[in-house]
């Protein structure tokens, strides 16, 4: 059943791993957005003080739920735990670093609120403001997006974006199994298999360097190639709706 479009609650899922230095700022930014936002933080077995920071923010009433995973399982496992716990009408993934700005939530939500979309992607390559960084990262992202588009028959510009805002009933119906960064590929494959109405809008993006804590590297790109084959060809599934 589709949610009432008039006043939607957004569940922001925040998977974090060793983000002690940034996660409080992310939560502050989420609170600055003029929407009804449920904040669900998932500590993916961090080895720094991230778990303590999250528990303190929860005690202060600034985070609605904190899920502490006992060991590092990967972004996909954290996202799946957050999806299961979410109670809002719409779900969006918010990384625990400072690369993505939740000020974009309002524009991303509009196509869903207007009943035009089931999912909205925030594209880093769609004419939005962005920090200029790694050329080969951009080439890799565009190559993976091209392959994904060929397999899904979509025409996205940024399949790997963190900002995928999806109606909660649809998101919860997707048969997701990824544990690590393959979750981005799998989400796109499953949404395409569900024949979801997908929109794409530009977002602000401030990518960070490896010195600043960036975690994705060439090995994740190779893994994404396997996941493209896995979820679009080997294990095509329709959601249980």
- Which residue would you say has higher pLDDT here, 126 or 152? 152
- How far apart, in whole angstroms, are the C-alpha atoms of residue 5 and residue 118? 12
Nearest to 15 by CA among 65, 61, 60: 65
31 forms bridges with which residues in the sheet?
Answer: none
The 10s digit of each residue's pLDDT in 171-209 is 999 999 988 878 999 999 999 999 999 999 999 988 644
- Specify the pLDDT at position 221: 67
Distance CA 191, CA 238 (A): 9
Mean pLDDT of 68-77: 94
Q: For residue 104, how far is the Cα from the chain centroid? A: 13
Provide the residue ranges of all domains of the chain, joining segments of one domain with +.
Answer: 9-234
pLDDT digits (tens, 9 = 90+) for 42-65: 999 999 999 999 999 999 999 999
Closest of 6, 203, 11 to residue 107, by C-alpha: 203
pTM for this predicted structure? 0.87
DSSP per position, the chain: -PPPSSSPEEEEEEEESS-TTTHHHHHHHHHTSSSEEEEEEEEES-SSSHHHHHHHHHHTTS-SEEEEESS---HHHHHHHHHHH--SSEEEE--SSSSB-GGGHHHHHHHHHTTS-SEEEEETTSS--B----HHHHHHHHHHHHHHHHHH----S-TT-S-EEEEHHHHHHS-----STTHHHHHHHHHHHTT--EEEEE--B----TTTT----HHHHHHHHHHHHIIIIIT------
Q: Among 3.90.550.10, 3.40.50.960, 3.90.320.10, 3.40.50.20, what is the CATH number of 9-234? A: 3.90.550.10
Q: What is the pLDDT of residue 97?
A: 86
**Average model confidence (pLDDT) across the chain:** 88
Indicate whether 230 pLDDT > 90.
Answer: no
More confident residue, 138 or 194: 194
Q: How confident is the model at residue 213 (pLDDT cuts 50, 70, 90)?
A: very low
Mean local confidence (pLDDT), 83-109: 96
């Amino acid at each position: 059943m589709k949610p009432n479009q008039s006043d939607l609650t957004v569940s922001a899922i925040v998977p974090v791993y060793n983000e002690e230095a940034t996660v409080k700022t992310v939560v502050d930014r989420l609170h600055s957005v003029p929407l009804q936002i449920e904040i669900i933080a998932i500590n993916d077995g961090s080895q720094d003080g991230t778990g303590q920071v999250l528990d303190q923010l929860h005690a202060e009433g600034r985070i609605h739920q904190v899920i502490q995973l006992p060991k590092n399982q990967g972004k996909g496992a954290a996202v799946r735990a957050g999806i299961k716990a979410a109670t809002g009408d719409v779900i969006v993934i918010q990384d625990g670093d400072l690369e993505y700005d939740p000020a974009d939530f309002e524009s991303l939500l509009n196509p869903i609120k207007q009943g035009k979309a089931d999912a909205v992607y925030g594209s880093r390559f769609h004419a939005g403001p962005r920090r200029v960084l790694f050329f080969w990262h951009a080439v890799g992202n565009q190559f993976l997006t091209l392959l994904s588009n060929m397999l899904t028959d979509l025409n996205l510009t940024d399949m790997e974006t963190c900002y995928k805002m999806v109606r909660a009933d649809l998101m919860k119906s997707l048969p997701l199994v990824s544990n690590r960064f393959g979750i981005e590929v799998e989400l796109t494959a499953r949404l395409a298999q569900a024949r979801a109405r997908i929109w794409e809008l530009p977002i602000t993006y401030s990518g960070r360097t490896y010195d600043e804590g960036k975690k994705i590297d060439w090995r994740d790109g190779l893994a994404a190639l396997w996941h493209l084959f896995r979820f679009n060809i080997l294990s095509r599934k329709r959601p249980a709706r």
